[in-house]
Chains A and B, each alone.
Chain A
Amino acid sequence: MAVALLVPITFSMEPVAGLIMLTAIYTSATYGGSIASILVHTPGTPAAAATALDGYQLTKQGKASKAIGVATISSMIGGFVSGLALLFLAPPLAQISLMFSAPEYLMLAIFGLTIIGSLSAGSMLKGLASGVIGLLIGTIGIDIVTGFPRYTFGSISLESGVSLIPALIGLFSLSQVFIMLENQKKSDKKSSIERKIGKVIPSFSEFKRVFPTILRSTGLGVLVGTLPGAGGDIGSWVGYNEAKRFSKRKEEFGKGNIEGVAGSEAANNAVTGGALIPTMTLGIPGSSTTAVLLGGLMIQGLVPGSELFTTNGHLTYAIIIGFIAANVFMGIVGLLGAKYFVKILDVPQNLLIAIIITFCIVGSFAINRNIFDVWVMLSFGILGYTLRKTGFSTAPVILGMILGPIAESSLGQALVMAQGNFFTYLFSRPISVLFIVLIVLTIISPLVLRIVKSKRKSVDKDASA
């Protein structure tokens, strides 16, 4: 959103300066989203939603600074490496994604959806149901193929679908306000959150613990980012999920594990550089934000493609190196500022409530400049609050809303391409087979792990008996 709002300012700037500013804001906003996620459980960007899971738990335990420290270092490494990837891998990686077609996108979307199942902290059934609710919301609006309005109930504003940002603000921020409100009388004026500042920079042993996660998430993030249509939101969930799968302390996930913060933060910043690869080489934006960046690029008269790396190479490489430097500066500012960011927790909760409500309203209005989105935000606030109070989760709803339309359009195209033999067609494509394997693994691995765990428990019991 920040990128979208700032594009007009770059019109009058020099191409290199303007574009470095946009890419720098892109990566910093992705990182900045984590701060609000960690401190007040209101992700500033969809990509930061996964960070909220463990980050907010850490804040509750009085380890907010540590969470921000880990998030900053992870984001910096993720962004920095993705910048290098952009610099060196842009041409060869663009070749792989050229091979992507409808079946692969379909598989990518299904892969994203299966992640939902393993994400829900409480009931897997309710987690999956929340995802399906998201899918259903994603179908609202005019059907692209037939041009028929679906589930608009006569409203013209709904014909273009439910806007993602207002829905996100409602589901996460406003629902959080409602939850803060119900505790107002119980906890008087003091919030129940501990406000210890603590150390920002993680200890060496902690760093050693999260480092493999950072590297893994960075790799995954760059890869996901390169795939058009899969943005930081999907990247951070994949990173979080894999961090959980590989962790030795799985049971701590969702209860405040720094590996969870590192897993999603390294991934979502790694996505930024990755997403710039197809944007700059093919003109296919990897996310909605890079779509805006693409606009910013074209406004300056720079056309994506090989020309960008040859004729306009001096501009392009300056922008890329600026982007890499921006990631380093972001890390430094983040580490120095972490202590002050945490201060936001010192603001009395009732003031915070008043201010967050105002920003929910102005934020959902400003994105499309219409009042209907404010109503959308309010409705999703009610939805999010109800879901959270009844044991459902809000994150899968957003994931469903993002992936639903991708799944639908690529399913339609894949069916046409397959000419009848849908499954044989899927299995004849190596990349889609790879995705099928990943999907099956994601579904089976929690079940297998549960069986292994229960067996181990019974073995332990036998041993102790």
Chain B
Amino acid sequence: MTNIKSLHQDVVSGVVLLIITIVFYTQTVDLPERAAMFPTFVLGLLLFFSIAIIIMGVTKTIKEKKGDPVYYVEEEERLKFKTIKLPLVFLIILAIYIVAMNFLGFFVTTTLLIVLTLYILHSRKLTTCIFTVFGTNLFIYFLFVFLLNVNLPQGIFF
């Protein structure tokens, strides 16, 4: 029997789009007619495309089963956990970073972020690390705080 893993990922993309269409549609129902007109039209288009993509994915799945080659364009590839592991790790780090920025301030958290990034990416030379941290922070301070008067989030230290 077909299990989820043997399905082409286009089927999954299509289904996700379909779910998004439905979720947004439930939000559209309560809107006044005038405000809902254009979004309904857009959702109609999205419905069409999600179904078309599901059909395309099913055709590709059948093709793959027969052993015919299915082409991937540009950056597209069959997604594996190994590929997306590091991006996922960074996604979590960035989320924590943004939350932490409110407490520790921009420059403290950014320093931590750069050090952590370089550590994870195997750049563990102390000089490189210090140079990058100071270079980036000084550049941002000069351009944004000094020249452009942007108040970057401040924390408990400075």
Q: Does A337 contact B (CB under 8 A)?
A: no
Contact indicator B118/A389 (Cβ below 8 Å): no
Contact indicator B38/A126 (Cβ below 8 Å): no
Grouping DSSP codes into helix (H, G, I), strand (E, B) and loop, the B interface class, with mixed when no group exceeds half, is helix
Q: In chain B, residues 62-117, which have Cβ atoms closer than 8 Å to a Cβ of chain A?
A: 72-77, 79, 83-87, 90-91, 94-95, 97-98, 101-102, 106, 110, 113-114, 117
With A125-B52, A354-B117 already in contact, the answer to whether A362 and B17 are too (CB < 8 A) is no
Q: Which residues of B contact A126 (CB under 8 A)?
A: 53
CA distance A299 to B141 in the complex (A): 27
With A128-B49, A182-B86 already in contact, the answer to whether A358 and B38 are too (CB < 8 A) is no
How near does chain B come to A25, taking the closest CB pair, in angstroms?
Answer: 13
Q: Does A145 contact B (CB under 8 A)?
A: yes
CA distance A435 to B26 in the complex (A): 35
Chain B residue nearest to A390 in the complex (CB):
B13
Residue of A8, A371, A389, A408 near B75 (CB, 8 A) is: A389
Residue of A121, A177, A357, A378 near B74 (CB, 8 A) is: A121
Contact indicator A391/B73 (Cβ below 8 Å): yes
Contact indicator B76/A353 (Cβ below 8 Å): no
Contact indicator A150/B39 (Cβ below 8 Å): yes
CA distance A143 to B10 in the complex (A): 33
CA distance A33 to B10 in the complex (A): 33
Q: Does B34 contact A (CB under 8 A)?
A: yes
Interface residues of B, CB < 8 Å — how many?
Answer: 64
Q: In chain A, residues 239-279, which have Cβ atoms closer than 8 Å to a Cβ of chain B?
A: none
Q: In chain A, residues 84-136, which have Cβ atoms closer than 8 Å to a Cβ of chain B?
A: 121-123, 125-126, 128-129, 132-133, 135-136
Residue of A350, A378, A388 near B121 (CB, 8 A) is: A350
CA distance A375 to B43 in the complex (A): 25
Contact with B along A323-336 (1 / 0, CB 8 A): 00000000000000
Q: Does B35 contact A (CB under 8 A)?
A: yes
Q: Does A341 contact B (CB under 8 A)?
A: no
Q: Which residues of A contact B123 (CB under 8 A)?
A: 348, 350-351
Q: Which residues of B contact A319 (CB under 8 A)?
A: none
Total A-B residue contacts, Cβ distance less than 8 Å: 172
How near does chain A come to B142, taking the closest CB pair, in angstroms?
Answer: 12
Chain A residue nearest to B9 in the complex (CB):
A390
Contact indicator A122/B73 (Cβ below 8 Å): yes
Q: Does A58 contact B (CB under 8 A)?
A: no
Contact indicator A178/B90 (Cβ below 8 Å): yes
Contact indicator B49/A369 (Cβ below 8 Å): no
Contact indicator B132/A355 (Cβ below 8 Å): yes
Q: Does A184 contact B (CB under 8 A)?
A: yes
Contact indicator B90/A408 (Cβ below 8 Å): no
CA distance A105 to B152 in the complex (A): 39
Q: Which residues of B contact A9 (CB under 8 A)?
A: 147
Contact indicator A366/B144 (Cβ below 8 Å): yes
Q: Does A385 contact B (CB under 8 A)?
A: yes
Q: Does B42 contact A (CB under 8 A)?
A: yes
Q: Which residues of B contact A390 (CB under 8 A)?
A: 9-10, 13, 76, 79
With A348-B123, A388-B75 already in contact, the answer to whether A136 and B38 are too (CB < 8 A) is no
Q: Does A411 contact B (CB under 8 A)?
A: yes
CA distance A102 to B106 in the complex (A): 45
Contact indicator A408/B38 (Cβ below 8 Å): yes
How near does chain B come to A154, taking the closest CB pair, in angstroms?
Answer: 11
Contact indicator A150/B27 (Cβ below 8 Å): yes
Interface centre among B121, B136, B148 (most CB of A within 10 A): B121
With A145-B34, A150-B35, A189-B122 already in contact, the answer to whether A354 and B114 are too (CB < 8 A) is yes
How near does chain B come to A414, taking the closest CB pair, in angstroms?
Answer: 13
CA distance A307 to B140 in the complex (A): 41
Q: Which residues of A contact B136 (CB under 8 A)?
A: 354-355, 358
Contact indicator B113/A358 (Cβ below 8 Å): yes
Q: Does B45 contact A (CB under 8 A)?
A: yes
Chain A residue nearest to B84 in the complex (CB):
A182
Q: Which residues of A contact B4 (CB under 8 A)?
A: none
How near does chain B come to A32, taking the closest CB pair, in angstroms?
Answer: 14
Q: Does A447 contact B (CB under 8 A)?
A: no
CA distance A193 to B45 in the complex (A): 39
Q: Does B126 contact A (CB under 8 A)?
A: no
With A125-B49, A128-B49, A390-B13 already in contact, the answer to whether A178 and B113 are too (CB < 8 A) is no
Q: Does B128 contact A (CB under 8 A)?
A: yes
Q: Which residues of B contact A362 (CB under 8 A)?
A: 106, 140, 144, 152
Q: Which residues of A contact B45 (CB under 8 A)?
A: 132, 135
Q: Which residues of A contact B91 (CB under 8 A)?
A: 178, 378, 381-382
Chain B residue nearest to A362 in the complex (CB):
B140
With A135-B42, A148-B32, A182-B86 already in contact, the answer to whether A365 and B49 are too (CB < 8 A) is no
CA distance A324 to B150 in the complex (A): 31
Q: Does B24 contact A (CB under 8 A)?
A: yes
Q: Which residues of B contact A348 (CB under 8 A)?
A: 123
Contact with A along B23-50 (1 / 0, CB 8 A): 0100110011011001100110110011
Q: Does B56 contact A (CB under 8 A)?
A: yes
Contact indicator B121/A353 (Cβ below 8 Å): yes
Contact indicator A136/B42 (Cβ below 8 Å): yes
| 4 closest cross-chain pairs (CB), A and B | A122-B73, A350-B121, A391-B76, A129-B49
The 5 listed contacts between A and B (C-beta, < 8 Å) are: A6-B148, A136-B42, A178-B87, A353-B121, A369-B150
Q: A125-B52, A128-B49 are in contact. List 4 more A-B contacts (CB 8 A).
A: A177-B90, A185-B86, A355-B114, A361-B98
